[in-house]
Structure 1
């Protein structure tokens, strides 16, 4: 049977990412400045948007192992498109908040289903698959966020129209190019296997390693969100212009492209996923150590370079390793958990960071982040050494 081509999965992630990047960057500004919603309520709305993404990721992964992935991705894209079309006509308060929740649900759902479909591609190394999906997701963020300010200055309605159009295009791609995903899934998972998996348990060594990864993702993303949510304020207190903070993310995007090319080349000759993850986590930790001493813009540039190296290696490699530790009957569930725990960290990050800053200081926050990620790094080493030889590897 014909299997789905990676290029169409990558293209789908790109369209999804651009469309979603038209929404989340403007949410705070639009709610507060345009609709007059208090910052506290804005924080609650964004928290529920993130929690919706967690829920969508988990449900999407759970259903992937039991239902036709072709139908699931169609449903997810239609849900996202409907929420955006509704925003064209109804973007007042409180309906905007409700539609943002629905949009978050679809976002987590779609990303998990696409990643889960990616586990069925066996023509190339799984690292290459997840590296390309991660690259497309980040490229979409760069394109979307670079355009959102310009389009928003013209009309917020135009933003929703363009985003709806992107998801309409995504739906067309899904309808015409994603059907082989159902064939591959049906060939690999018969009804008997779907039923029998519910009575099975994952081997204990696999479960311990996976649990460690999920908790690690929660902690790493919680700390990573400090770059997104609180660092801009800290930099302005040092009299560094906001445009310089924005340029850090331009550096981030450009470096991710370069690093992904290198990682994809490395994947042809080097297969030790755990060492890649450990190196990446160590680099993320070092970025916060640099921030502790940052008092000029150069330090922030160096810290961003170190952070980007870490994230570009860690975030696509963890789902690739999770893929090798989970049976085909449950790959969707565990890819969904990867996204769920990551989304939970993104939801928790701004709140936790704000509490620590108000209680102590920004420097204390950076120290806490570095220590927390070091504990993650050490935990991965200890759990992997104790369990990897007994773990079952799935292909």
Structure 2
């Protein structure tokens, strides 16, 4: 216990502001996000393919939004971009609850994709600025605890509220985003390196996103992360409809499935991160992808609610292993003056997975069979697993080193 207290005491105060403030934000997200497909399907009468298209529009809009957010986080500042993104999130979330037609919802999804996505690169860069490289995997793991604590409570509450009023659901979520924006503004300071120009001049080669695009191993790593994300996306977009329409389970049942996911992360993420950080990173990514594929693929065997919970448990362990490690790799590979851009580009792996995954899942469900979807996703998870293992064999531990081979917080690379 004393060792754990010493480890936690080593993180700076602004990190803990993000840690506790994100509980509020994730609670708001947990209220709404799991029920978006049900809202579109039941309240607005959208077919599953249309649900997938709207989710993909949101994700595709996040491409330029995330890249611009990373660029501005390096130029304007981390805190400024976080606050602006959270304000936009509150506005668009409230708009979802007021939208009465599919075109209006689609337009808001486009705006949300452009603006809300700016938060991630800025937050990831701020953590990298604040935390030493050897502690980053645990730092990102700790933030996942708060995020998933909110999602542990949010879906269960959201399932109850959604049965009474979707407008109330969206309003509460919007207020949570606005509250977190105020916490970030008043509780943190700007962490962007002051000597950005000096760092850029000291680093050889191109700057900006050209530096990212010339990092071949990083790009391959991102491509494999997208492949692993495709199965995961089905658990949040297709699974709730599958449970409702094919098994007659109410919204609260899926809420409890998501609560299982978030609760396990809240309880076990820190221990899993400490275990994973002592092992080769790409092997840990392979293990995470394997658990994704196994968990999603096992949905085809489901006979009732307990089966869905068991599948989510497998997926959750894959998530706890791979996500903090992947964020640490992206942060370590980034020079200090390019952290926002690197975190933005890495964030596109999630965006791409959610752009492709829902449409792919919707097409399979609408034109083939939902029972074919789950084993197909299991195969994709197995392919991603093999890819990470091959990358580990080719690159070894060199892939986890900073891009310039020096500790990112020590100043210009020699």
- What TM-score range do you get, normalising by the shorter chain? 0.7 to 0.9
Q: Choose from 196, 201, 207 the match for 1:190.
A: 196
Task: Please give the residue correspondences for 1:250-261 in structure 2 after superposition, counting only pairs within 5 Å.
Answer: 250-261=259-270
After superposition, the Cα gap between the structure-2 partners of 1:73 and 1:235, relative to the gap in structure 1 and judged at 3 Å, is closer
Q: Choose from 129, 142, 146 the match for 1:136.
A: 146
After superposition, the Cα gap between the structure-2 partners of 1:255 and 1:23, relative to the gap in structure 1 and judged at 3 Å, is closer
List gaps (5 residues or longer) in structure 2: 1-10, 408-414
* 2:147 aligned counterpart, secondary structure: helix
TM-score calculated relative to the size of structure 2? 0.80
After superposition, the Cα gap between the structure-2 partners of 1:212 and 1:151, relative to the gap in structure 1 and judged at 3 Å, is same
CA contact (8 A) 2:79 2:122 kept: no
TM-score calculated relative to the size of structure 1? 0.84
Q: Choose from 251, 262, 272 the match for 2:271.
A: 262
- The offset of 1:347, in angstroms, is 2.4
List gaps (5 residues or longer) in structure 1: none
Q: Choose from 270, 284, 306 the match for 2:292.
A: 284
Q: Choose from 285, 310, 320 the match for 1:302.
A: 310
Aligned to 1:62: 71
User: RMSD value over aligned CA atoms?
Assistant: 3.3
Aligned to 2:158: 148
CA distance in 2, matches of 1:325, 1:75: 27
After superposition, the Cα gap between the structure-2 partners of 1:209 and 1:365, relative to the gap in structure 1 and judged at 3 Å, is same
CA contact (8 A) 1:20 1:107 kept: no
CA distance in 2, matches of 1:114, 1:298: 36
After superposition, the Cα gap between the structure-2 partners of 1:306 and 1:190, relative to the gap in structure 1 and judged at 3 Å, is same
Q: Choose from 365, 374, 378 the match for 2:382.
A: 374
* 2:176 aligned counterpart, secondary structure: helix
CA distance in 2, matches of 1:359, 1:103: 29
CA distance in 1, matches of 2:160, 2:304: 30
CA contact (8 A) 2:31 2:173 kept: yes
- The offset of 1:319, in angstroms, is 0.9
CA contact (8 A) 1:62 1:333 kept: yes
CA distance in 1, matches of 2:381, 2:49: 29
- The offset of 1:131, in angstroms, is 0.5
Q: Choose from 220, 223, 237 the match for 1:215.
A: 223
CA contact (8 A) 1:54 1:341 kept: no
